[in-house]
A = this chain, B = another copy of it.
Amino acid sequence: MVFAEQGFYQSTISQIAREAGVADGTIYLYFKNKDDILVQFFTYKAKQVFDLFREEVATADGAIEKLKNLVRRHLDEFQRDKNMAIVYQAETHQNSRSAEPQIREMSKMYLDIVSEIVEQGQADGTMRKDLYLSLVKRFILGAVDETINNWLHSGGKYDLRSMADPLIDLFIRGIGNNNVNNS
């Protein structure tokens, strides 16, 4: 996918069309304009990915287990579809984009899933009650995102999925030495 390599705005309709194996004009039979390609791409991908996420979370028991599955699946999917990962990383950090609504929606869906998990964790006593929820969800999303971002910038060589467990561990236990404090 061209706009994974050079960014969506640096890609031309000609490149996109050639890659799709159609003529330039044909693009306009399916997309209103160039921006609409991005919008539809995100709309389609969002649905696809979030269905997976929801399903993954639903099949797990316990908040921590749900969180583990979510993060694993997240890393897994982005590893599987590196192009989507690149486009997602690039576009979620711009503003005044035409795909802004789609991106906000995706972010929101993700944050909602995390919120639900944390709230469940608080309810069943596996997570701290004194958490600043709106911060926690971003803290988790941010850490996962940056893990993906770094994987991308490194060229996507190593196994991204293997980062899931250590990452969850940091979410759950933090980096402080609890043994010291609790001794």
Chain A positions within 8 Å of B, measured between CB atoms, are 5-7, 9-10, 64, 86, 89-90, 92-96, 104, 107, 118, 121, 125-129, 131-132, 135-136, 138-139, 141-147, 149-150, 152-153, 163, 166-167, 170-178, 180-182
Q: What separation, in Å, do the CA atoms of A149 and B95 have in the docked complex?
A: 10
A118 smallest CB distance to B (angstroms): 7
The DSSP consensus for interface residues of chain A is helix
From the candidates B10, B127, B146, name the one contacting A9 in the complex (CB within 8 A): B10
Q: What separation, in Å, do the CA atoms of A139 and B169 have in the docked complex?
A: 11
Q: What separation, in Å, do the CA atoms of A137 and B94 have in the docked complex?
A: 24
Q: What separation, in Å, do the CA atoms of A118 and B174 have in the docked complex?
A: 12
11 contacts between A and B (CB under 8 A): A10-B96, A92-B93, A93-B93, A95-B152, A127-B175, A132-B166, A135-B163, A142-B149, A146-B146, A172-B174, A173-B176
